[in-house]
Amino acid sequence: MTNDWKPRTKLVHGGIRRSQYNEVAEAIFMTQGFVYDSAEQAQERFKKTGPDEFIYARYGNPTVDMFEQRLAMLEGTEDAFATASGMAAVNGALMCIAQAGDHIVAAKALFGSCLYILEKVLGRMGVEITLVDGLDLEQWKAAIRPDTKAVFFESTSNPTLEVIDIKAVADLAHAVGALVIVDNVFATPVFSRATELGADVIVYSATKHIDGQGRALGGVVLGTREFVRETLMPYLKHTGAALSPFNAWLMLKGLETMDLRVRAQSDAALKVTEALAGHPKLSRVIFPGHPSHAQYDLVQRQTGGKGGTVIAIEVEGGREAAFRFLNACEVGVISNNLGDAKTILTHPETTTHSSLSDAQREELGITPGLIRISIGLEDSGDLIADFLSALDQA
Ligand SMILES: *Cc1c(COP(=O)(O)O)cnc(C)c1O
């Protein structure tokens, strides 16, 4: 097992553990626990576990471990801990470090559930949260204090696809010793350079590109071995957000094809953007991988110019026109996942972001005409033809 492998090789072979049968495909160790050879061994195991020594699936399991090690190899972190969903990963990464009286600074363009954890859960427990406009470095600078414990942000925001400068924010946070926690879903693990840019802890919802086929929920937190073992694991293993071995196996199989899928989806997203840019019925077409994006220079540095797999469009004529467009699309499906093999169309105002106030939505640019499109693996020509025809009917 070598860390010099290229990403695609890591995604196929990384972290593999074979049983005594030397199976080719990763085995599903569908077991909650493990048998000890003796009472003495059980006693030893509870004192200190090594890499091949498991106790209970809430703490670790061989199939789950393969998934964790494979993704850590890809991301370039020392270790990882997998969780039952992306939200369990976000919650774990924040809850394991926070205590009453702490201060955390976060970008306000956040997924509703992330905002709930920060404001409602951590807020209720006496953690002070300061929300800033993630694009405005002056606001980060003003908000980060000598006693700030951590900063948290989505590197590319949902659904308006603003890109936050990981390195610039990390430099400000590190100057006061704060931990940098990045939700990197929209950047995708394929294009991520978050580790080299200064992120200390990286969180993914594996439900998105890692599975990529709409089958299961999952999540993962990546970081240094010390952080994962000493800070994160005690919290997660005692609170029970463990990923099931079966779902870890689905995610392992997802990782094998993730690089190919995400690159194809990202290339198709660029083609769709080019085809829709300037359309008279669209007031905005947003894709971080297109030169028209406001942070295109940053996208070059941060994700090698790749804009992920999601685009956002704003239809002229508000919600009614947006609904007419959605209902006229025949290839993509109306749903709310992203990173899937199927193109997925979402109307944020009335679904994923419907719990926000009108003022919050307006501040985040979530207008009634805005539609999020997660580009799938279909032929890009079919997608473009479908979108153009649906725009005629909008
Ligand atoms: C989907 C998502 C999550 C939550 O992941 P689940 O697997 O649905 O729990 C968190 N952050 C971002 C940016 C997401 O897109």
pLDDT at 48: 76
Which residues share a beta bridge with 334?
345
CA distances from 64 to 241, 245, 251 (A): 13, 6, 9
Edge-to-edge strand order for the sheet containing 179-183? 79-83, 219-223, 201-205, 179-183, 148-154, 103-107, 128-132
Instruction: Compute, in angstroms, the gap from residue 122 CA to the centroid of ligand 1.
Output: 18
How do residues 30-51 score in pLDDT, each as one tens digit?
999 999 999 999 999 988 767 6
Ligand 1 atom 5 nearest Cα: 86
Q: Ligand 1, from 83, 152, 207: best to mutate by most atoms within 8 Å of Cβ?
A: 207
Q: What is the mean pLDDT of the chain?
A: 96
How do residues 262-277 score in pLDDT, each as one tens digit?
999 999 999 999 999 9
Q: Tell me the pTM.
A: 0.97
Longest CA–CA separation in the chain, Å: 75
**Once rounded to an integer, what is the mean pLDDT over residues 118-143?**
97
Ligand 1 atom closest to residue 207's alpha carbon, by position in its atom list: 7
**Once rounded to an integer, what is the mean pLDDT over residues 135-153?**
98
Instruction: Compute, in angstroms, the gap from residue 31 CA to the centroid of ligand 1.
Output: 27
Find out whether the beta carbon of 185 lies less than 6 Å from any atom of ligand 1. Answer: yes
Ligand 1 atom closest to residue 90's alpha carbon, by position in its atom list: 10
Find out whether the beta carbon of 86 lies less than 6 Å from any atom of ligand 1. Answer: yes
How do residues 296-344 score in pLDDT, each as one tens digit?
999 999 999 999 999 999 999 999 999 999 999 999 999 999 999 999 9
How do residues 84-123 score in pLDDT, each as one tens digit?
999 999 999 999 999 999 999 999 988 889 999 999 999 9
pLDDT at 349: 96
> By three-state DSSP, how is residue 21 classified?
coil
Confidence band, pLDDT 50/70/90 cuts, at residue 380:
very high
How do residues 312-324 score in pLDDT, each as one tens digit?
999 999 999 999 9
CATH for 258-392 (3.40.190.10, 1.10.1660.10, 3.40.50.300, 3.90.1150.10): 3.90.1150.10
**Once rounded to an integer, what is the mean pLDDT over residues 209-223?**
98
pLDDT at 1: 57
Find out whether the beta carbon of 181 lies less than 6 Å from any atom of ligand 1. Answer: no
DSSP string, 109-168: ---HHHHIIIIIIIHHTT-EEEEE-TT-HHHHHHH--TTEEEEEEESB-TTT--B--HHH
Confidence band, pLDDT 50/70/90 cuts, at residue 355:
confident
Find out whether the beta carbon of 217 lies less than 6 Å from any atom of ligand 1. Answer: yes
Q: Ligand 1, from 117, 153, 208: best to mutate by most atoms within 8 Å of Cβ?
A: 208
Q: Take residue 371 and report the two structure tokens written for it.
A: 């539609």
- Residues near 145 by Cβ (< 8 Å), separated by ≥ 6? 103, 176
Confidence band, pLDDT 50/70/90 cuts, at residue 12:
very high
**Helix (H) or strand (E) segment spanning residue 311:** strand 310-315
For the chain, percent of residues with pLDDT exceeding 70: 99
How do residues 44-90 score in pLDDT, each as one tens digit?
998 876 767 899 999 999 999 999 999 999 999 999 999 999 999 99
Q: What are the residue ranges spanned by the domains of the chain? A: 2-254, 258-392
Find out whether the beta carbon of 340 lies less than 6 Å from any atom of ligand 1. Answer: no
User: Domain 2-254 falls in which CATH fold?
Assistant: Aspartate Aminotransferase; domain 2 (3.40.640)
Ligand 1 atom 8 nearest Cα: 86
